[in-house]
Amino acid sequence: MCGIFGGKDKSAERAAQEARQREAKRQANLTTGRTSIDSALSGFNDDYFNTQAKNYDDWALPQLDDQFADQKKKLVFALSRGGLLNSSSAAQKQAELGEQYNTAKQSLVAKGQDYSTNTRKDVEDTRARLLSILGSTEDPTTVGDEAVRSAATLRQSPSFDPLGSLFTDIADQVSKVQSAKNLAGAYSAGGAQLFSGGNKSSGSIIN
């Protein structure tokens, strides 16, 4: 209360002190909230992201190996049917299949890295979202709970896209080429023909 000499009114001082305390409390809340966010997301480190990539590799590469084995069998059959198994052409097709296989492996590994990268982006997006909520609400408890929930969501395994066929069907190409060659061979040997008159004359003379 203000005295007769005006020396007792401390309301302005109190207001300033309270404002400073409120600000300190606000900053403490923000710090607590940020700590909660960092803590909840602390598990998302390089090891975690590398594991994400490895999980995809473990899922995809065996499927690729299966497809490769199938393609190899088909190629052997196709080459065998054409009698080309021990030929330079077989060597070429074999190398081509190997190239497809190894390139597909790299692509799958890169895709695993993409899953890892996407998870990293998701973590950063989540961090930004949580910080935004913290800035708006200044409520560390709510944000801490939300951070834990978000971290659990991030930890859920991503659904991997089906691989589909990763090879160009080399064996089929070999078969088609072989069929064409057979057809051409039959034609030149006077065998099965679509049309009569293979000697290109207009008719035959019968004695």
Interacting residues with other proteins (CB under 8 A): 3-7, 9-10, 12-13, 15-17, 19-20, 23, 26-27, 30, 34, 68, 72, 75-76, 79-80, 85-88, 90-92, 94-99, 101-103, 105-106, 109-110, 113, 117, 120-121, 124, 127-128, 131, 135
- The residue among 23, 30, 24, 67 whose CA lies nearest residue 163 is 67
> What value, to the nearest 5°, has the Cα angle with vertex 129 and ends 43 and 41?
5
The Cβ of residue 144 has, within 10 Å, a number of other Cβ atoms equal to 19
Q: What are the distances in angstroms from CA 82 to CA 75, 176, 184?
A: 11, 10, 14
Look at the block and give the residue holding tokens 């679509």: 194
Instruction: Give the separation between CA 170 and CA 74, rounded to whole angstroms.
Output: 8
State the nearest-atom distance from the C-beta of 52 to other proteins, in Å: 14
CB distance 165 to 101 below 8 Å? no
Q: Which is nearer to other proteins, 75 or 151 (CB)?
A: 75
Q: Which is nearer to other proteins, 80 or 153 (CB)?
A: 80
Q: Which is nearer to other proteins, 103 or 141 (CB)?
A: 103
Q: Which is nearer to other proteins, 92 or 168 (CB)?
A: 92
Q: Which is nearer to other proteins, 79 or 151 (CB)?
A: 79
Radius of gyration for the alpha carbons in the chain, expressed in angstroms and rounded = 37
> What value, to the nearest 5°, has the Cα angle with vertex 78 and ends 76 and 82?
110
State the nearest-atom distance from the C-beta of 133 to other proteins, in Å: 13
State the nearest-atom distance from the C-beta of 149 to other proteins, in Å: 20
Q: Which is nearer to other proteins, 75 or 147 (CB)?
A: 75
State the nearest-atom distance from the C-beta of 130 to other proteins, in Å: 10
Look at the block and give the residue holding tokens 């330079």: 88
Instruction: Give the separation between CA 23 and CA 115, rounded to whole angstroms.
Output: 42
State the nearest-atom distance from the C-beta of 88 to other proteins, in Å: 4
Name the DSSP letter for residue 160: P
State the nearest-atom distance from the C-beta of 26 to other proteins, in Å: 6
